[in-house]
Structure 1
């Protein structure tokens, strides 16, 4: 008699409930996930497009949470995936498996504080916000939003005045059961949302008179009672940065789109300091704290004088003397203000009354102090921190930044140690092995033997040390909280797609290498020929916005097909127009490389203008590359080539989205074929049939452009 709680049986039940069909890779993945969480191990799972990886980890996660009574946290990278998991996949899985398990699974959604409406604020419990600097607080709450690549505003919000949006928000706040910003349709601008929300630092906490009605508190209470909690990578970044209590206690962590985890933790751990943020803290202290800010005002002036002549770029020898002194002045002034803002103790027998204005002032000054203290402490320590200066294009403001040189230790210590973990994505194996990814997230330390690498067909233990794709740890702050590495293994369950038959990888070897210009004449001629052969149907992925705009303008002059360029409208609108009209072309940058899912005849040609190496002046990546080289490794391969391999794999993966798709990925950078690192990069791509013959690619596109015969 079959085991009623066997993974295979439960997976069949869940697949049937979602109206799907069994898939071999999904079954292999589900059993591997179940085995890893039961043994308390760490598993990297590469699950290609079409595998159905959401069910591949949700079914064993729900099963384990209920049977072992151990909470599982599932993290997603984007708003779209979070909505899919929480509003569709996970509830269906929980409902389908409930009759098969000893009890019904409990599920919950958890986001950052700022993503929920504050009922105390909508009731008039907070003073009006400072409109000049809404998000320059170093706002932890705002940073806890799942994705910086997705539009936060609703499509209709721009046509609605701020006042009308706030009125609609307040009406919605009286009706909503969740207070979750994503449940508000249509959405509103960030400025409007700020009028009804607070950050975790600004919250009155247990002293709030409306604590029983607090939406973020309810969400956290639900998470503490749930078996499976869905959150996002930004929240993992907060936890990894030293605030583990933002997540409920859990024994298992599942990370979807795990290839983005290290970058999200880096972003969350990056501190920013500007004259504007100093002035904002001063305004809050004066307006809501009622105190003088003479010392902080002087520090702001000193910082402005230091920054005005500061060159852009990374500081390899620490901050210049004048800038270091100005940062120290900001730190000391903020510390003094924090003391002055400390509320007076109530008289004996009296309860402290909450002061929301004072809380806003204190949170702004505290955030400033923490940033300035960190920069002052690390100004001369280049072993663990990357410091740089940048001027914003939108306002010309100069800002100082500090980022950790490495985050693998943070991830290992605060997220993975002492837990079972499953990290999955369609792109985890780079250059044919998992070691690069394992190092980037702290599973493996430098100089250790490679962990086991597995495929669905075979299992092998290998030590590929010395391969071009091998990476080395860059220095991370020493820690005793976790070992230098954790035992792990990798699994590639493949894809249901027949890539060699469904797609062609065309490398334009005859073109000159790309230069500094957005596009060469030879590239424009090649793009024109490819799009003409395809009859439109083209997704153009470019390494810069300047290139996307330049090629878009050129193709509008040369071709008689609609050409859309990212930035001309909201991204969801552009993608919808692209999918609905087969002749349309869509050109864009990073969001399109990773976030577009358009199966069918509308997307039969993906053009990649150049290998997407990081910019040479990228401060964090250049610092990491230098650190690897200093330790005896290949900094270019460890950092730049690995970054490029990941993006190439993501970009090429836009082509084949279903078993019926056919098409061509055209890379206009001959280095993919001629350079030594080219093979490492191509091994990271789907296994398309490869050619450097232009006529072969054009002929295939012409044949695909012929409409299929009507059904009999």
Structure 2
């Protein structure tokens, strides 16, 4: 039965106290959202909330989460938001509501590889021959890994969390020397350092907490794949919900290369006495040949040779697993202390599961072969097989939405002017909205847009360059490059360029460097993204051009960014295996695959990209889209309705004059 709804006056009172503690001011949209979240929890009704940047949505869902009488999970897509929640918002909210009798306990929960592993640090890991080692033979890397090991030991001594985010600066390869994946973990019961384990302590703290902060991937593994990762909870808030489908898809995607099979076979030779490990190695060779002979791309029908090779790998992996030492009398594995055995067996188990899934090649999966790539003489990426779910709305609907109350929130949930596109992709069918009673086939939901504190009509201009030719397949044409130079010149730098490809970003950067040498022009890849962002913010006469990670991950309020350039509508590539399969499936089901998949994908990215411009109430500027189809194509209205309501124009002279005024050139 639904619980009693919290008194709206209590929600408003606690929200006001929290906002005051954080040094901000309440906004009508924030109050509206907090009350809507409270109603959703009490009435067990799913909720989609669009809350613009600057609304203060984190407090708006944290306050009703504390008031809820059962555990609430908050899932984010990015580490930045996770840090904001656990380091700033929740602690200050806890201070603001002291003495009110609320359970204010909270914890952060991440995947196991995000924590340092004391077993790996103290005893090393077996190589393919079973020899314990730490891969720290390379000078600078050795120094860094030793620093990470010392840090982890200090964390254990000081009762720290051992989380990667608080470790000394390092790269992925260095971190792998002090951590393990869930597959390689021995488990608390078998590990000699289980009582000290950072990951286990994080889970224990989560068991005692009222609010758990985690990420989309861990939520998907727990709720959708059915692998218990999170303590039992009643409701979940999914922030940055526009990224959920992509993160769930990523969590349910598997890859396989012949080298993976070879490695599993090598590790098995130490523990398997028969010929099974050699047969697995032979299967790897067969798979390699089949992958070489297959054409890269998506498989409508799995080639016979490749199917047979996958079956051979599957069967050889199954036989190898059966040949591993069995449990002895007394109920304990005779090699329970041998980390190498468990980890080697785990690698074979993973090979078996992936090969079995790929060989089945069901209508619910999409299978494709990536093309091998060579970057230089030392760097070559071999081809790999990939398998991903055709759609994720079904599993989300069946395994999450039917069991829990879910609140989805983001600054971009209304695409084409309503919530229907996003709701459908999440497993909430638009036709069922407004149904009063929850049944097996009906999941009631509401969509609420609480607005934005920004006056987009006065703060921003949406410029669509409809005089330009449509973009071609060969990248930027001369007309587009000239337009970019003129706009950047009018803005005197202060420009963020969002491009559909690395090649286009680099081509534009090169032209701007030559024709506007007085400006500093940066391109993604010139340095690490944080370094590029810092330089962009520090100097207003700087231009930064890049691709997808800038579309969604960059927050640069103020005068440093007064022009956001978008080279073309960001439709998925026609040869994208997963997107093309999803589009075709939507057509086959009687829908409009282009609108449901390609246009929805583009609308979401456009909204995120345009959102880079206005980050505070004092920001001003122009979003310039150099793709005339936004104004001329039939789907353009859907895309424009997904963008913030800026003042529209297609007059280049008006836009250049506005940019010159903003930059102080006139």
Q: What is the TM-score with the length of structure 1 in the denominator?
A: 0.87
Q: What is the alpha-carbon distance in structure 2 between the residues aligned to residue 91 and residue 299 of structure 1?
A: 54
What are the within-5 Å matches in structure 2 for residues 6-17 of structure 1? 6-17=10-21
Give the direction of change, closer, same or farther, for the CA distance of 1:425–1:350 in structure 2 (3 Å limit): closer
622-631 or 387-396, which deviates more: 387-396
- Corresponding position of 1:92: 92
Give the direction of change, closer, same or farther, for the CA distance of 1:537–1:289 in structure 2 (3 Å limit): farther
- Find 1:164's aligned residue among 133, 143, 150: 143
SS of residue matched to 1:345? coil
Q: What is the alpha-carbon distance in structure 1 between the residues aligned to residue 143 and residue 272 of structure 2?
A: 30
- Find 2:184's aligned residue among 167, 185, 202: 202
1:373 has 2:356 as partner: yes
Q: What is the alpha-carbon distance in structure 2 between the residues aligned to residue 181 and residue 95 of structure 1?
A: 27
- Corresponding position of 1:556: 513
- Corresponding position of 2:105: 106
- Corresponding position of 2:81: 81
Mapped contact 2:128–2:267 kept (Cα < 8 A): no
- Corresponding position of 2:377: none
- Find 1:294's aligned residue among 278, 289, 300: 278
Mapped contact 2:415–2:641 kept (Cα < 8 A): yes
- Corresponding position of 1:658: 616
What are the within-5 Å matches in structure 2 for residues 173-572 of structure 1? 173-176=152-155, 177-186=160-169, 188-205=170-187, 206-287=189-270, 293-316=277-300, 318-346=301-329, 353-378=336-361, 381=362, 383-394=363-374, 395-444=380-429, 448-451=431-434, 483-560=440-517, 561-572=519-530
Q: What is the alpha-carbon distance in structure 2 between the residues aligned to residue 685 and residue 349 of structure 1?
A: 60
- Corresponding position of 2:583: 625
Give the direction of change, closer, same or farther, for the CA distance of 1:288–1:525 in structure 2 (3 Å limit): farther
- Structure 1: runs of 5+ lacking an equivalent: 135-156, 453-460, 462-481
Q: What is the alpha-carbon distance in structure 2 between the residues aligned to residue 678 and residue 521 of structure 1?
A: 24
Mapped contact 2:433–2:446 kept (Cα < 8 A): no
1:7-37 deviation digits (Å, cap 9, x = unpaired)? 0000000001111111111111011011111
TM-superposed deviation, 1:129: 7.8
SS of residue matched to 2:463? strand
Q: What is the alpha-carbon distance in structure 2 between the residues aligned to residue 391 and residue 372 of structure 1?
A: 19
TM-superposed deviation, 1:95: 2.3
1:571-618 deviation digits (Å, cap 9, x = unpaired)? 011011101100000000001000111111100000000000000011
Give the direction of change, closer, same or farther, for the CA distance of 1:33–1:78 in structure 2 (3 Å limit): same
1:606 has 2:564 as partner: yes
- Find 1:683's aligned residue among 630, 638, 641: 641
- Corresponding position of 1:153: none
Q: What is the TM-score with the length of structure 2 in the denominator?
A: 0.93
Mapped contact 2:373–2:383 kept (Cα < 8 A): no
TM-superposed deviation, 1:404: 1.0
436-445 or 27-36, which deviates more: 436-445
Give the direction of change, closer, same or farther, for the CA distance of 1:555–1:438 in structure 2 (3 Å limit): same
Mapped contact 2:327–2:334 kept (Cα < 8 A): no
Give the direction of change, closer, same or farther, for the CA distance of 1:569–1:625 in structure 2 (3 Å limit): same
Give the direction of change, closer, same or farther, for the CA distance of 1:342–1:451 in structure 2 (3 Å limit): farther
Mapped contact 2:67–2:102 kept (Cα < 8 A): no
Mapped contact 1:289–1:357 kept (Cα < 8 A): no
Give the direction of change, closer, same or farther, for the CA distance of 1:349–1:663 in structure 2 (3 Å limit): closer
Give the direction of change, closer, same or farther, for the CA distance of 1:352–1:341 in structure 2 (3 Å limit): closer
- Structure 2: runs of 5+ lacking an equivalent: 1-5, 375-379
Mapped contact 1:285–1:291 kept (Cα < 8 A): no
Q: What is the alpha-carbon distance in structure 2 between the residues aligned to residue 644 and residue 399 of structure 1?
A: 27
Mapped contact 1:254–1:423 kept (Cα < 8 A): yes
- Corresponding position of 2:542: 584
SS of residue matched to 2:653? helix
Mapped contact 1:412–1:441 kept (Cα < 8 A): yes
Q: What is the alpha-carbon distance in structure 2 between the residues aligned to residue 244 and residue 415 of structure 1?
A: 13
Q: What is the alpha-carbon distance in structure 2 between the residues aligned to residue 616 and residue 125 of structure 1?
A: 46
Mapped contact 2:224–2:400 kept (Cα < 8 A): no
SS of residue matched to 2:99? helix
Q: What is the alpha-carbon distance in structure 2 between the residues aligned to residue 574 and residue 130 of structure 1?
A: 43
Q: What is the alpha-carbon distance in structure 1 between the residues aligned to residue 128 and residue 147 of structure 2?
A: 18
Mapped contact 2:630–2:636 kept (Cα < 8 A): yes
- Corresponding position of 1:649: 607
TM-superposed deviation, 1:400: 1.2
Mapped contact 1:62–1:94 kept (Cα < 8 A): no
Mapped contact 1:240–1:410 kept (Cα < 8 A): no
Q: What is the alpha-carbon distance in structure 2 between the residues aligned to residue 348 and residue 275 of structure 1?
A: 35
Give the direction of change, closer, same or farther, for the CA distance of 1:516–1:118 in structure 2 (3 Å limit): same
TM-superposed deviation, 1:388: 1.0
Aligned residues: 642
Q: What is the alpha-carbon distance in structure 1 between the residues aligned to residue 105 and residue 381 of structure 2?
A: 49
Give the direction of change, closer, same or farther, for the CA distance of 1:559–1:208 in structure 2 (3 Å limit): same
SS of residue matched to 2:370? strand
Mapped contact 1:43–1:422 kept (Cα < 8 A): yes
Give the direction of change, closer, same or farther, for the CA distance of 1:99–1:288 in structure 2 (3 Å limit): farther
Mapped contact 2:335–2:341 kept (Cα < 8 A): no
1:464-493 deviation digits (Å, cap 9, x = unpaired)? xxxxxxxxxxxxxxxxxx944511110000
384-393 or 216-225, which deviates more: 384-393
